[in-house]
Chain A
Amino acid sequence: MRSDNASAQAAFAKASDYLERQPLVANHRPLSWITDHVCRIVEQPAPIWWWVSTIVFGAVAALTPAMLTYLVATGVGVWGLNVPVCWAWDITNFVFWIGIGHAGTLISAILFLTRQKWRTSINRSAEAMTIFAVICAGIFPAFHVGRIWFAWFLFPIPNANAIWQNFRSPLLWDVFAVSTYFTVSLIFWYLGLIPDLASLRDRATTRFRQMAYGILSLGWRGSNRQWTHYEKTYLILAGISTPLVLSVHSVVSFDFATSVVPGWHTTIFPPYFVAGAIFGGFAMVLTLLIPFRELYGLHDLVTDKHIDNMCKIILLTGSLVGYAYSMEFFIAWYSGNPFEIYAFTNRAFGPYWWAYWAMITCNVAAPQLFWFKYCRQNPWVVLAIVMFPNTGMWFERFVIIVTSIHRDFLPSSWGYFSPTWVDITLFIGTIGLFVFLFLLFVRFLPIINMFEVKGITPQADPHTHNPDNPHGAHPRQAHSLDESRVHA
């Protein structure tokens, strides 16, 4: 009996090596270490690589206003758009950027409501990414209206024509959805920043810094009379952002799904677009986080476990997207509609076959590598693999938009779209703008949500924490084998 007990304990000890939850902050870091390591990114002089990359990406970002100026001065025809392909790179880029934003809101809202504590060290940068992606996205439809100086007609403001907006149009829904999404994401992001801005204020060594961060933090004191309302506010914003994030890409998909164009007119679009958005968004989060974690030595806060979790989400959503691709084909065949069948055959084997198979390779095949633990554990392998979804999600939107409209009902009006140099340069410009804004963010704002990370450390839990051991109970002690249960 006694030897059974001993072997049971040994087996438990061995199993607990595998079953042990990895701590979300590695190496039992104290609270002040977290503050120090995050704040000093902002406080110390910018490293050389930061200056070099900010200047380079700033120069690339300058292509955006340059191309837009050229477009406005010359006319929207400088894009390669013409009948029948009137939506091409511009709308592809719009949907691409909007989709990227979704991971940020998913991490900040849905993972908050589901109490996924690992979100805390990645939500700040993911939310920042959301905001910058939506900025890049908004540029395209705004300028696609052609006469940008009339873009305010999109909003219900009385104008000289006396005609109001058509509220039955999904394009107008899109205006409301995207602007609401941007505003609520910005509010949510800023709300999360307030306590951390107060940390920067209290560590300030110059008067200017103290005043700037002091004003931005609204005079936050961290008192419990503030925390009690703050936590409630955060919960409510998470609650309303959850349906919001699901709705935004659904509404974007309505732009296509409510039309009668074969290849667009499908009911699967809303969930398929949302899954794709989360898929592409997480790929972009990893693309940004892995290099910055390396450059700033944040391995104890953004641990391998975080990367592993995100890879699993990419695997899941990538498989969902793959399911949606095959279901589209099945329904096209099952519908018996010749136009629908042609649209999909043409998609895979028509003139844009290269885009279709690039999409399948990047979005369906490449993420399957994340079934292997090795691929999820090695950050550089992860970085290489997520480049596929980054590319593939752009191709997905291109495939959906361009292949569907380049050959519709009348063969006499079939055409082939090729981008112009303005199309290409403007897209490169928005990539530059996105990275440039992110580089400014890591320089001036805390890249990791310090107060939330502190809140999930063992020492933050007032109920189980042992004050004699300030670094938190040792995991093995906390999960030690219950003697009485073995004897029973």
Chain B
Amino acid sequence: MSHPARTLHGLGAEFPSAAALLHAAEKIHALGFRRWDVYSPFPIHGMDHAMGFKRSRVSLFSLLGGITGLSTAFALIYYTSAINYPLIVQGKPYFALEPSLPIFFELTILLTAFGTVLGLLLLTLLPRLYHPVFNWDRFKKATDDGFFLVLESADPRFQPDASRQLLAEMGGTHISEIYQDAELVPHPARPEKELAA
């Protein structure tokens, strides 16, 4: 089972704790790496700062969703009640702000929620069921109790040997190459015939 033409995705290293991963991330960021990521079972406090992230732009999508919701609600009520089929109910005006507020509020909330989730999916590029990091057998721990750092080979500062040494110096263990194509390691959830192929 040799794979002569396997493409390297990057180098992965495991760290013993959230604190160790945070320190490693600070160092990698300081060294100027751009294409890398850390993986943890829960969001680590301070990691965004350590990786040099700016504020997440999900809120922009929320705002757009909210504005869409509010204007939809206004257009809906005004068009149906005052333009398309004006109907006198209890002698009240065709359109008034007060009775419209609950609908304004609910539709604003609803479309803000849609906008926020859409923003999350767009910014995180999900759903994406396959990713090279899944080829690394240890990576299963990332959703359990593992703390990982992966340097991608596409980063201009990436050098197979120097980067491996860098990860080791920072305290990384189980340093391994991660390939873009499936490694076909034995996995209880993968049928035998696929392994043989």
Contacts and interface: CB of A to CB of B under 8 A. Distances in A.
Nearest to A178: B106
Give the residue among B105, B134, B139, B143 with the most A Cβ atoms within 10 A. Answer: B143
A225 to B, nearest CB: 5
A467 B19 contact: yes
Interface string A211-222: 000110011111
Contact of B124 (A167, A180, A226): A226
Contact of B58 (A168, A201, A229, A254): A229
B113 A221 contact: no
Contacts of A30: 145
Report the contact-size class of chain A (Cβ under 8 Å from the partner).
Answer: 35 or more
Interface string A183-222: 1100110010001001101111111011000110011111
B71 interface: no
Interface stretch (A237-245, A273-281, A359-367, A412-420): A237-245
Contacts of A32: 144-145
Given A163-B87, A237-B116, A224 B40 contact: yes
B102 A236 contact: no
Interface in B69-109: 76-77, 80-81, 84-85, 87, 89-90, 92, 96, 99-100, 102-103, 105-107, 109
A169 B92 CA distance: 11
B124 to A, nearest CB: 5
A162 interface: yes
A229 B19 contact: no
Contact of B18 (A180, A202, A204, A460): A460
A351 interface: no
Given A198-B143, A459-B18, A462-B22, A173 B103 contact: yes
B85 to A, nearest CB: 6
Interface string B131-166: 101100001111111000000000000000000000
Contacts of B7: none
A224 B51 contact: yes
A231 B51 CA distance: 15
A166 interface: yes
Give the residue among B17, B38, B109 with the most A Cβ atoms within 10 A. Answer: B109
Give the residue among B42, B126, B139 with the most A Cβ atoms within 10 A. Answer: B42
Interface string A294-308: 000000000000000
Nearest to A251: B102
Interface in B1-54: 16-22, 25, 37-48, 51, 53
B144 A218 contact: no
B123 interface: yes
Interface stretch (A339-347, A386-394, A421-429, A448-456): A448-456
Contacts of A210: 189
Contact of B143 (A199, A231, A232): A199
Contacts of A22: none
B39 A222 contact: yes
Report the contact-size class of chain B (Cβ under 8 Å from the partner).
Answer: 35 or more
Interface in A136-178: 156, 162-170, 172-173, 176-177
A221 B99 contact: no
A247 interface: yes
B128 A167 contact: no
B102 A227 contact: no
Given A222-B142, A459-B17, A230 B43 contact: yes
A243 B109 CA distance: 9
Contacts of B126: 218-220, 226
B116 to A, nearest CB: 5
Contacts of B123: 229
Contacts of A199: 41, 143-144
B117 interface: yes
B120 A229 contact: yes
Contacts of A231: 43, 56
B134 to A, nearest CB: 8
Nearest to B42: A455
B56 A240 contact: no
A467 B16 contact: yes
Contacts of B92: 168
Contacts of A31: 41, 144-145
Given A173-B106, A191-B117, A237-B116, 10 more contacts: A195-B41, A207-B191, A209-B189, A221-B131, A221-B142, A223-B38, A224-B38, A229-B120, A237-B117, A459-B17
Interface of A: 30-32, 35, 156, 162-170, 172-173, 176-177, 180, 183-184, 187-188, 191, 195, 198-199, 201-207, 209-210, 214-215, 218-233, 236-237, 240, 243-244, 247, 251, 254, 450-452, 454-455, 459-463, 465, 467, 470
18 contacts: A31-B41, A164-B80, A164-B85, A166-B81, A184-B113, A202-B142, A205-B189, A206-B188, A224-B39, A224-B51, A247-B106, A454-B42, A455-B42, A462-B44, A463-B45, A463-B46, A465-B18, A465-B19
Interface of B: 16-22, 25, 37-48, 51, 53, 55-56, 58-59, 62, 76-77, 80-81, 84-85, 87, 89-90, 92, 96, 99-100, 102-103, 105-107, 109-110, 112-114, 116-117, 119-121, 123-124, 126-131, 133-134, 139-145, 188-191
